[in-house]
A and B are shown apart, each in its own frame.
Chain A
Amino acid sequence: MRELCWSLWKQRWAFFAYVVMVAVGAGMIYQVMDGYSLFEMGYRTAFVLLQLIFMLLQRERFRIILRKESAHRFYRSMPNARKKEQKRFVWLDVYCAAMLAVLLTAGIIFKNEFVDGSVPFAMVVYFLVYVPTSRIIACVPYVWWMTELVFAAVFLFVPAFDISPMLCVGTAVAVGVINVLLYRFVRKLWDTED
């Protein structure tokens, strides 16, 4: 049973990709049935996928940082070093999944509708706060962060998206705080567990 669970866990990203594909496919069918044009449908789907891709990129950055950190001889000299290293990566996945859920929920709750406008809104939140706070907590490359901030500014001031700047800033602060707290919590878990 334990081996089966472990092999399923190792395949988790394949399952995740499968779920995303089904969700996106269902979303596209729903949109077509609801009378959206092909352009609108493609544009909205692209945003959802972009957000997922950015999240995965962010996960990769953390993984690189973690791997570098674990490579330091001090970590390897600690008792149960290899077990701890594996657990850190598990905790990283938990963190990324939780953060993705927070981002999507923020988009849904604050705009109250997922399809119309909330996707670019969630992107703004992501770019404006999640990325900068992630930079602070995990030292991601500065240039990358600046590029993403420029994207955020573009999204924020495109009138077609009809996004309230105040709502954006408010949500952004909330998501930023959640990000830092969640990261600190997860970090504490992987640092203190045996």
Chain B
Amino acid sequence: MDSVIVAKGLVKKYKKFTLGPVDLEIPKGFSTALIGANGAGKTTLLDTICGIVAPSKGEVTYFGEITDIEEGETKERIGYQAAQGMYPMSWTPYDVAMANKLGFTGFHEERYWELCKKYGVASEGEKKQTLMKMSDGNRIRLCLAAVFARDTELLVLDEPGSNLDPLMRDRLCGQFREYLEEGDGEKTILFSTHNIADMENVTDYAILMYDGAVIESGFVNELCERYVLVSGERATFDKIKRSLLVEDRNMSTCFGFAKAEEKEKLEAAGTVVETPNLQQLCIFLLRYAEQQNS
């Protein structure tokens, strides 16, 4: 597997939170989702990878060879979009265009205004409406327009789907696919989310985070095949309790979650065993991590 980013022993320490040590690889040419609850460290990890904040320890290798993000044109090749605080609130869409034009050589103003129009966020040359007066959703749209208007090889997007209406989220998924197809295996997307249901159809690779650590990662199909979703009657669940990682007994039908190795044993006990989808997998894995932590 070719990796666009390789992080080794990455640590970022804050007063009340520590990320890592994190070891991870982001596969080249795919869309990778960083999934975790609020406060899991997704934004810190993305910020550390993109050089927004300096790591306390560890190393990140970019595009297979570069270890210093400030080196050469590395940042030109990375399109970064923050969930909030990306641009000063007093800026207008016009200021965003001008700043990007000054800051990045691969920024295409025409494409930016086209995307602004397409996303319904601003008309060409908009100089009056400041970001302060925009809704949260429109601010995200504007940031997305700016980042997609650049020539990049890697997009790092923090919560791109949050605050977007379903139609815009669908349009964003389309934009993801278009970007990856254009790249023909050379372009990569890394995005964070705490609600994977909205972006599941554009996720090829998933990284799950809990309390500043990576708890699981892999290609979605492989990842889902590592675990099984179990359902059955209460009495049956008493017998298979030891094989389950997490169980949910609040309903008449009980649900549980186990490793794929236990499949035969669980089926023999008379439970229904299925392969989970990504959303189910995330919920149960995060619950398992929470359970282990408490």
* Chain A residues with a Cβ under 8 A of chain B: 69, 71-74, 76-83, 139, 191-192
Contact = CB atoms under 8 A, between A and B. Distances in A.
Interface size range of chain B in the complex: 20 to 34
A192 B99 CA distance: 10
B76 interface: yes
B88 A79 contact: no
Interface in B155-185: none
Contact of B70 (A69, A74, A80, A192): A80
Contact of A73 (B75, B86, B90): B86
Given A72-B85, A74-B82, A191-B102, 4 more contacts: A69-B88, A72-B87, A76-B51, A78-B75
B50 interface: yes
B70 A73 contact: no
Nearest to A68: B88
Contacts, number: 46
Contacts of A76: 51-53
B86 A72 contact: yes
| Closest 3 A/B residue pairs (Cβ) | A73-B82, A77-B80, A79-B75
Interface of B: 47, 50-53, 70, 73-76, 78, 80, 82, 85-88, 90, 99, 102-104
A69 B73 CA distance: 23
Main secondary structure of the interface of A (DSSP, over half): helix
Contacts of B80: 73, 77
A77 B75 contact: yes
5 contacts: A72-B85, A73-B86, A79-B73, A81-B51, A139-B90
B50 A77 contact: yes
A74 B99 contact: yes
Most-contacted residue by chain B among A71, A80, A83 (CB, 10 A): A80
A72 B88 contact: yes
B47 A73 contact: yes
A79 B99 CA distance: 13
A123 to B, nearest CB: 31
Nearest to A83: B70
Contacts of B47: 73
